[in-house]
Structure 1
Amino acid sequence: MISTVTIRAELESYIKKEGITLHQFAETSGINVGTLSGIINGNRPISIGQLDLITEIMGLPEGSYYEMYVDESFASSAPHWRRLRPFLLRCAELRRHDCIQKVLVLLIEDIKQVAGIFETAEIMFEQGLKEAAILLYECVVESERSSHCERLAISYFRLFQIYQKDNHKNFTAAAQFIPYRHRLPEHLVLDGLVMLAELYYVNKDWDEVEKYTDELCNLTEILYRKRCWETPDFRPSRSLVYYYGIGYLYKGACYEFRRMFSESRKWIAKYADLSWFESLDQNMLVEVERYKMFARANLLSIDVKEGRVSRIPEYIEFLKENPSEVLEGLITLLESANRHKFFVDEHLSLFSDEIKYYLSISKQIPDDHNNQDFVYKEQVHTFRCSLFFQKYAIYCFRKKMLAEGIKNTLLSLKFSIRINSKSMMANSMILYEFYRDYSTTEQQTTYIKLCEEAWDNEEEFSMDDYANSIC
């Protein structure tokens, strides 16, 4: 319902009530007196900047007249995007999503407005106004009639980007994006495929990881042959050598996790030396060196996982030289020790500070596992923390350190819930059940709370229901 009160009438009433002249209001607000006169007389539209100044001088909260502004702007026809876009961006800044929704409902009556909606969504995304951008991208998705339209594909891609860290919406967003992935500009396809590989990697769905890494590897090789870097429209977020390397890195990891080590070695060789890439700048040379380091790390890791104990000293020296690889290295040591039935206490003691650090990370995880401000929200890192504590728990159980083993099992479960990794959650829960009889009352309570977090239908069953059912 359109309000009968207008912003102009409110302004005029304020000036009369305060007993000031139009010139005085103009001087205070910094708005030209002629412009103010035109606004009051209805001869000049109000810009969002002018509206904010008027609202401030009147002593009202920011955005007080925004709903009224929408009604007045659409009174006869949709305003020009030159006026509308700054208003939507300001609404996004103030989180006035209600006003954005109201504008979208009015705009979408004219299908030709979809292009302007999409362009504004892109500006919001670039400015970090992602909550508001979601509303516009979803509007594009619902309104775009051509399934082959590039902006439809980009909208699905952006929604996947935004929801990538949302453990409840990331798979849905991915599923919606997947059919459109090859309708994106090539430089965005690269990022989309990396994101899909990462999403399925943390859920240990190796077939899906391999599917998207194959697509990534094929695309990067095609782009390289086409000398894509010479094309001005090719603007990827990272260098081509990065995408080439990460495709084969994830592909090799798929086979390493499946314990198909000889196959993994074949793919590691693909990124071990990328110095043959043409037009390598300084940043790209850094990437080449990183992949060389990753290749050495993964080859050593495979040797250790195969039970070659003689390779452990060299692996330990490598980890000391490359602190960023310590977490992955500890996982490798524990996995090999557990599988081949030996102990590595003397090696673990060398990294006691790092282990304490991972324990401290677990204490920083907020109770709300959907908290997007959580500093350790990066999914692959969280996956590795979960995997580390799971391997460490098994190691402790082997040493008959049952209390410590249960503690680490619960930590693994806690991390796996944060990334909604079903396979990791299942493994941690099964491991806990094996040793449930040795858990303390406090650990049992912690386990129940974690299970409640993992439960998909909290409104149907809660911890209170559990407590009542056993009383």
Structure 2
Amino acid sequence: MEATTTILAELEEYLRRGSVTISQFAKDSNMHSGTLSNILHGRRPIAMQQLDRITQAMGHDEGFFYDLYIDNYIIDSSQDWRRIGPLLHRCADLNKLDCIQRIVQHVMDNLLYSPMLFDTAEELFAKDRLAAAALLYEFVAESERSQHSERLALCQYRLFTIALGDNQNENLRAADRFEPFVERLDEVDQLDALKELANTYRSLQRWDKVDELAVKMGRKARIQYDLQHGPHRKSKESHKAPGRPLFFYIAYSDLLRGNVCDELGDYEQALIHKYAYADLGWVKEQGEEVDYWKSLFIEWSEANVYITRLLSGDSKVIEPYANYIDMKKGELTIGLLYILKAANKYQFNVDDILYRFSQDIETNFNELIQGRYSRKLALDRQANLMFEIALYLLYKKDYSNGFRFLLDAVKNFKQINNEKYTLECVTLFERFRKAATQEILDRYQILLLGGTSYEEKDSIALYPH
């Protein structure tokens, strides 16, 4: 198809070559013959739905004429949103990102289109057409003249959430790029944005940032809570609500800060935070969703108090905590992680714990990915668990299983591009290199060089049954 041709010329040639009448083609394309005649004679433009019908009737793939449509009806014609909007949606449905880029580059000179492009991006975001939505958000963000506009901040928020994935370096860049825009969001959107940012820095183990954002989220949530439920509350409720019940953000602030205190070794303060988010008698909200989150915070508090006591060196909680995670399989990975951390720090013997859960580790990880934890946090925790198990076994001189778990840890940390912990794995391997077989050395070399993944049979099963 030559670049100078038109859709009408292609259609006319198709009708002429096949001796197809307008009436017959109208029937084939499920269009009114009068409408088709007006299109062919240039008396009316082709609408998006009509273009798809014509394309199908001519035997072409969906979207075959979209580039020509952009030339004929967007670039060489008046910029009519009645054509641009539907075309953007169809391009997104077919993942024709190059077409979206062409459309937006042409219309963005007219700033009147910026609000409509933003609304379209929001619609695509809601439909999970994330790559297409990201293109529109980028163009809208670039066109915003006011660097303090809420729309610019919302574009940056959406781009942040779209960018998050398994690569920790890219997640860090996305978080650092978005953070300056948080305060420019609507007060309600700020709560969810702060939660997402804190969770991202949590998976990156940037505890200073987690604490800073958790404090900020808790303070803002308390202000909103007092406005809605305090004695001087507004007579009318805000039309906009955050993604979770408002009390959630107050309790979650304590949960995050308790986690930070654990990591920094301040176990006394950690317990204060953990008991706080189980004490929810002050919550005035009601409903099924509220009850769900309240029960979950109480459950999390029970589990996390065990963790703090473990990390502080209390070996008496190992058995009751093991019984707890045996009943709560969704907590198995995080539970074993902290049991192993404590064992490695205080030289606890947890052989019986590893034997007890050896068959559950891999299957539970798959459930963790599909459950209530974010994928990036689940991947990070699984990699850390593999590392802690390897550390424990290697010092117990169980070299076969120890190296097996260490190689799994290397693979997982490289998958999420966590260079810091990949280096820790390398340091641990080199410490025990003399105990490694040639097969283990070869697999290790392949992993570090990024070669073909080694065969993973029996890579998780600690004690074959």
**What TM-score do you get using the length of structure 2 for normalisation?**
0.89
Counterpart of 2:210, as a letter, is V
Q: Which of 347, 352, 372 is equivalent to 1:346? A: 352
SS of equivalent to 2:240? coil
- The CA deviation string for residues 321-374 of structure 1, in whole angstroms up to 9 with x for no partner, is 32222222212222222222220222332222213536x869xx9xxxxxxx9x
Unaligned 5+ segments in structure 2 are 453-465
| TM-aligned CA deviation for residue 383 of structure 1 | 1.3
Partner of 2:280: 274
Q: Say if 2:172 and 2:201, in contact at 8 Å, map to a contact too.
A: no
Distance in 1 (CA, whole Å) between partners of 2:152 and 2:66 is 29
Distance in 1 (CA, whole Å) between partners of 2:187 and 2:363 is 40
Distance in 1 (CA, whole Å) between partners of 2:178 and 2:314 is 43
Counterpart of 1:251, as a letter, is R
Distance in 1 (CA, whole Å) between partners of 2:444 and 2:293 is 42
Cα gap change, 1:222/1:448 in structure 2, threshold over 3 Å: closer, same or farther?
Answer: farther
Mapping of residues 56-71 of structure 1, within 5 Å? 56-71=56-71
Partner of 1:466: none
Mapping of residues 20-99 of structure 1, within 5 Å? 20-75=20-75, 77-99=77-99
Mapping of residues 183-262 of structure 1, within 5 Å? 183-227=184-228, 231-262=237-268
Partner of 2:271: 265
Q: Say if 2:203 and 2:380, in contact at 8 Å, map to a contact too.
A: yes
- The CA deviation string for residues 168-222 of structure 1, in whole angstroms up to 9 with x for no partner, is 5322222221111111123322222112112111221110111111111111111
SS of equivalent to 1:353? coil
Q: Say if 1:251 and 1:267, in contact at 8 Å, map to a contact too.
A: yes
Counterpart of 1:111, as a letter, is L
Cα gap change, 1:452/1:240 in structure 2, threshold over 3 Å: closer, same or farther?
Answer: farther
Distance in 2 (CA, whole Å) between partners of 1:163 and 1:452 is 27
Distance in 1 (CA, whole Å) between partners of 2:45 and 2:79 is 10
Distance in 1 (CA, whole Å) between partners of 2:75 and 2:87 is 16
Partner of 1:435: 432
Report whether the alignment pairs 1:421 with 2:424. no
Partner of 1:448: 445
| TM-aligned CA deviation for residue 30 of structure 1 | 0.9
Mapping of residues 67-466 of structure 1, within 5 Å? 67-75=67-75, 77-167=77-167, 168-227=169-228, 231-357=237-363, 378-453=375-450
Counterpart of 2:98, as a letter, is D
| TM-aligned CA deviation for residue 452 of structure 1 | 3.7
Q: Say if 2:310 and 2:317, in contact at 8 Å, map to a contact too.
A: yes
Unaligned 5+ segments in structure 1 are 366-372, 454-461, 464-471
Count of aligned pairs between the two proteins? 443
SS of equivalent to 2:358? helix
Counterpart of 1:118, as a letter, is F
Cα gap change, 1:446/1:243 in structure 2, threshold over 3 Å: closer, same or farther?
Answer: farther
Distance in 2 (CA, whole Å) between partners of 1:244 and 1:50 is 52
SS of equivalent to 1:226? helix
Q: Say if 1:138 and 1:155, in contact at 8 Å, map to a contact too.
A: yes
Question: Root-mean-square deviation (CA), in Å?
Answer: 2.5
Q: Say if 1:328 and 1:384, in contact at 8 Å, map to a contact too.
A: yes
- The CA deviation string for residues 32-79 of structure 1, in whole angstroms up to 9 with x for no partner, is 111111111111111111011101111112212111111111345542
| TM-aligned CA deviation for residue 288 of structure 1 | 0.7
Distance in 2 (CA, whole Å) between partners of 1:11 and 1:206 is 63
Cα gap change, 1:297/1:283 in structure 2, threshold over 3 Å: closer, same or farther?
Answer: same
Distance in 2 (CA, whole Å) between partners of 1:301 and 1:116 is 50
Counterpart of 2:209, as a letter, is E
Distance in 2 (CA, whole Å) between partners of 1:378 and 1:332 is 19
Cα gap change, 1:289/1:377 in structure 2, threshold over 3 Å: closer, same or farther?
Answer: closer
Cα gap change, 1:107/1:225 in structure 2, threshold over 3 Å: closer, same or farther?
Answer: same
Q: Say if 1:78 and 1:107, in contact at 8 Å, map to a contact too.
A: no
Moved more, 249-258 or 68-77: 68-77
| TM-aligned CA deviation for residue 403 of structure 1 | 2.4
Q: Say if 1:203 and 1:424, in contact at 8 Å, map to a contact too.
A: no
Distance in 2 (CA, whole Å) between partners of 1:75 and 1:268 is 60
Moved more, 22-31 or 440-449: 440-449
SS of equivalent to 1:275? coil
Partner of 1:14: 14
Distance in 2 (CA, whole Å) between partners of 1:95 and 1:321 is 44
| TM-aligned CA deviation for residue 313 of structure 1 | 2.8
Distance in 1 (CA, whole Å) between partners of 2:115 and 2:361 is 52
Distance in 2 (CA, whole Å) between partners of 1:77 and 1:356 is 58
Distance in 2 (CA, whole Å) between partners of 1:319 and 1:249 is 19
| TM-aligned CA deviation for residue 292 of structure 1 | 0.7
Counterpart of 1:186, as a letter, is E
Distance in 1 (CA, whole Å) between partners of 2:391 and 2:363 is 20
Distance in 1 (CA, whole Å) between partners of 2:77 and 2:57 is 29
Partner of 2:462: none
Partner of 1:467: none
- The CA deviation string for residues 203-260 of structure 1, in whole angstroms up to 9 with x for no partner, is 2111011111111111111111111896343232222233222221111101101221
| TM-aligned CA deviation for residue 166 of structure 1 | 4.8
Moved more, 410-419 or 122-131: 410-419
**What TM-score do you get using the length of structure 1 for normalisation?**
0.88
| TM-aligned CA deviation for residue 130 of structure 1 | 0.8
Q: Say if 2:315 and 2:348, in contact at 8 Å, map to a contact too.
A: no
Partner of 2:458: none
